[in-house]
Amino acid sequence: MGKLPLRARLATTIGGAAGRMSRLAGRGDGSVIGGVIGLRMEPNLLALLAAGRQIVLVTGTNGKTTTTRLIAAGLTAFGLPVASNAFGANMEAGLTAALGRAPDAPLAVLEVDEKYLPAVIKATRPRVVTLLNLSRDQMDRAAEIWLVARKWRQALAAAPDSLVVANADDPLIAWSAAAAPHVVWVAAGQRWREDSWCCPQCGSHLLRDELGWRCAECGFARPPARWVLEGGSVIDSSGRIHGMSLSLPGRANRSNALVALAVSEIFGVDPEQALPRMRQVASVAGRYTRFERHGRQVRLLLAKNPAGWLEAFDVLDPPPVPVLLSVNAREPDGRDTSWLWDVDYRVLRGRPVFVTGERRLDLAVRLEADGVPFQLVEGVDDAVELVQDASLDVIANYTAFQQIRATFGRAE
C-alpha cells in the first residue's frame, strides 16, 4: 500500500475500519461497507488498489462465487496472499473492500456482477477474465442477457491485453469471448439451454449434436476446447488426464473446477498442484453447509434462477430424503416469481416436499401444477420436526438462503 496516493491510503484505512466495525456490530460480514465509504472519499479507489497486481475476474450467471473460491484455492500454491471477495460482494464496493483488506496481496481473484464487468475490466486491467455462462436471472432488474453479452464483447475488444478463459459450450459466452484476441476455451458444459436456441451472431436456429452447437446460417460454431471434463476426470490442455474428486458435489461444481484449473495453469500452477487445494473447499459462502437441528442433518443449497435450480436438483440426496424449498422475491432475488414456471419440479416427486419463504404460495401453485405433493411450513424448524428421516436438504433462493444462514449461524 506504500505506493498509493495519500487520499487512497486514507480511504482504504477508514473503509477497512468501517468493515471491521460492521462485522463486530454483527451487521453483516463487512464486505461492502468499507468499499462504499472508501469510494466516497476516492472515486478512483478500485483502479488505484488494483494497480500493480495480477487480477483474475470471474463472471457469469451461476458459479461465480464457487469458481472464484476454487481459483483462489489453486493460486495459494504460490504461498503468497490472494485477495478475494469470497463472500460474493461483487459490485464496485465489494471489490474495492476486498482489495483494501489485502493491500499486500500480489494476486487477486474477484467475482464480478455480470452488469459491472465492463466497468471493472476498465478499472482493474485484469490479466484474466473468466466467463462461465449466461442465462435468465432476475430480469426485472438485470438487463436482458443478449444485451449483457454484447456489452461484454465491446469491453473485451477494448482490453486486448487480458486473456479470456471462456466456456465454449455456452453460445452466448462463446460469442462474447470471441471478441477477445486471446481465449482459452474450456468445455464446461451447459445444463440449461432454454436461452440459447438461437445463434447470438445472426439470430438463426442453432443446431446441436454431441459435438456441440453450430449455426447453419452464419457458420458460427462452438470453438474447440482445450480443457474437457470426461466423466469424473479432467483432460488438461496438454492432453493429460487427472482424476477430479472434489469435496463440492455435482456436475456444476466439476465444471467450475475445470475452469479454475484452466485459470490456475495460466499462472503456472499445474493441475496436480491445484487439485488437492481445490479439494479442500467443502462449502462456499454457506452453500453446501451442513448443520444439525434437533438431531437431523440439514444441508443448504442455493438456487437463484432456473439454471441454478437444475444444478441444485442434481446434487439432492436421492429420495426419499425430504427437501424444503424456500423462495422470496425481494430486490436481490428479483421481484418477479415468473421464473418458477421455467423450472421443472416433477423430479421432486417421490419424496416429501416442504415449502416456505415469503412467496411460498407461488411455490405451492407451481408444485400443484406439476403434480408434486407438498406441505406448507413456517420455516426450517417446522420441516425438521415433520421429517422422519435423518437428513433434510434445503434449496433456497438468495435472500431466503441468507435468512436461513443468519438464523443457523454463518458457519462456513
Partner 1 sequence: MDADMAARGGGHARRASSLRLVWVYPDLLSTYGDRGNLLVLERRARLRGIEVESVLVNADHPVPRQGDIYLMGGGEDLPQTLAARRLRADGGLAAAAQHGAVVFAVCAGYQLLGAEFGGEDGQLLQGLEILDIHSGRGERRGVGEIVADVDPRLGVPRLTGFENHQGVTKLGPGAAPLARVVAGVGNGDGTEGAFAGRVLGTYLHGPALVRNPALADLLLTLAVGQLPPMSDRDEEWTRRLREQRLAAVPAGVG
Which chain residues interact with partner 1 by CB under 8 A?
Answer: 136, 139-141, 144-147, 194, 197-198, 203-205, 335-342, 361-362, 364-366, 368-370
For the bound state, the minimum distance from the C-beta of residue 331 to partner 1, rounded and expressed in Å, comes to: 12
Contact present, 152 and 131 (Cβ < 8 Å): yes
Min. distance of Cβ 407 from partner 1 in angstroms?
A: 23
To partner 1, the closest distance from the beta carbon of 395 in angstroms equals 17
Choose between 122 and 346: whose C-beta lies nearer to partner 1: 346
Taking a C-beta distance cutoff of 8 angstroms, is the pair 387, 322 a contact?
yes
* Residue 134 beta carbon to partner 1: minimum distance, rounded to whole angstroms: 12
Neighbours of 125 (CB within 10 A): 15
For residue 337, the minimal CB distance to partner 1 (Å) is 8
- Dist. CA 35–CA 347, nearest whole Å: 42
Residue 313: Cβ within 10 Å count:
20
Nearer Cβ to partner 1 (62/264): 62
Between 75 and 324, name the residue whose CB sits nearer to partner 1: 324
**Angular region, 253: left φ>0, alpha ψ -120 to 50, beta rest:** alpha
Closer of 201 and 283 to partner 1 (Cβ): 201
At which residue does the C-alpha cell 504460490 appear?
78
Q: Quick one: three-class SS letters along 381-404?
A: HHHHHHCCCCEEEEEECHHHHHHH
Which residues lie closer than 8 Å to 362 by C-beta, 6 or more apart? Answer: 327, 329, 337, 340
20/208 with CB nearer partner 1: 208
187: part of which helix (H) or strand (E)? Answer: strand 183-187
Q: Which lies closer to partner 1 via its Cβ, residue 89 or residue 221?
A: 221
Nearer to partner 1 by Cβ, of 53 and 359: the residue is: 359
Helix or strand holding residue 354 (H, E): strand 353-356
Residue 298 CB, shortest distance to partner 1, in Å, is: 26
Q: Where are the beta strands (DSSP E) in 191-238?
A: 206-209, 212-215, 227-230, 233-235
Smallest separation, CB 342 to partner 1 (Å):
5
CB of residue 313 to partner 1, shortest distance in Å: 17
| Closest-CA residue to 368 (of 387, 382, 355, 385) | 355
Q: Least distance from C-beta 81 to partner 1, angstroms?
A: 42
Distance of CA 396 to the CA centre of its chain: 15
| Distance (Å, whole) CA 74 – CA 70 | 6
Query: Among residues 363, 352, 370, which one has the least CA distance to residue 396?
Result: 363
* HSE toward the beta carbon, residue 196, CA cutoff 13 A: 28
